[in-house]
């Protein structure tokens, strides 16, 4: 299993969350996968609000930036998957949005990014929050993983509705 990360060169990094702190995020993905006994590769991409808004509009029909998007990978051909392992997908993080969100919630920026990486990884593993039951299952798993990672954040209950866009 592996996780790679790329930071869009146009992202203006904040001293509160420099690239050196962002570089710890692939290890978070690996810890989550290991704890959940999952195998696979994940690509992390840190980018701008504008790019995330574009992706959100194109793939979800929501014309607004958001903190994190997850795109599950297409299944690989058997012969490739046997050699490479499964490709779980991509996690796209909006750096400026996440930094504002961390400040608004009085969260440490690194903890906010860890929360979003955990959240995105769970989506790639099939978790969702589209019903109260599914959300409870995802939030319980998310809370367990955050505790394991030493991140003390309380995530409020929220279910995305199409009219929220």
pTM score of the predicted model: 0.88
Q: What average pLDDT does the chain have?
A: 88
How do residues 113-130 score in pLDDT, each as one tens digit?
A: 999 999 999 999 999 988
Mean pLDDT confidence for 77-94: 82
Q: What does the pLDDT look like over 140-154, one tens digit per residue?
A: 999 999 999 999 987
Residue 89 has pLDDT above 60, yes or no: yes
Task: Give the mean model confidence (pLDDT) for residues 136-141.
Answer: 94
69 vs 156 pLDDT, higher one:
69
pLDDT band at 13, cuts 50/70/90? confident
Report pLDDT digits (tens) over 26-71: 999 999 999 999 988 899 999 999 999 999 999 999 999 999 999 9
Q: Which of 42, 54, 60, 48 is nearest to 2 (CA)?
A: 42
Alpha carbon distances (Å) from 109 to 68, 79, 106: 14, 41, 9
Domains assigned to the chain: 2-164 (3.40.390.30)
Buried b (16+ CB within 10 A) or exposed e, 118-146: bbbbbbbbebebeeeeebeebbebbeebb
Mean pLDDT of 72-83: 76
């Amino acid at each position: 299993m592996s996780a790679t990360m790329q930071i869009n060169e146009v992202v203006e990094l904040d001293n509160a969350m420099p690239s050196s702190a962002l570089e710890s995020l692939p290890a978070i993905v690996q810890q989550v996968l290991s704890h959940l006994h999952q195998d696979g590769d994940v690509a992390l991409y840190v980018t701008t609000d504008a790019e995330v808004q574009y992706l959100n509009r194109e793939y979800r029909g929501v014309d607004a930036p958001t903190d994190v998007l997850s795109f599950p990978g297409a299944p690989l051909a058997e012969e490739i998957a046997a050699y490479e392992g499964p490709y779980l997908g991509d996690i796209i993080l909006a750096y400026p949005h996440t930094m504002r969100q961390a400040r608004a919630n009085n969260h440490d920026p690194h903890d906010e990014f860890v929360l979003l990486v955990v959240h995105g990884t769970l989506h790639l593993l099939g978790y969702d929050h589209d019903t109260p039951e599914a959300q409870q299952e995802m939030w319980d798993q998310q809370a367990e993983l955050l505790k394991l990672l030493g991140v003390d954040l309380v995530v409020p209950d929220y279910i995305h509705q199409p009219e929220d866009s």
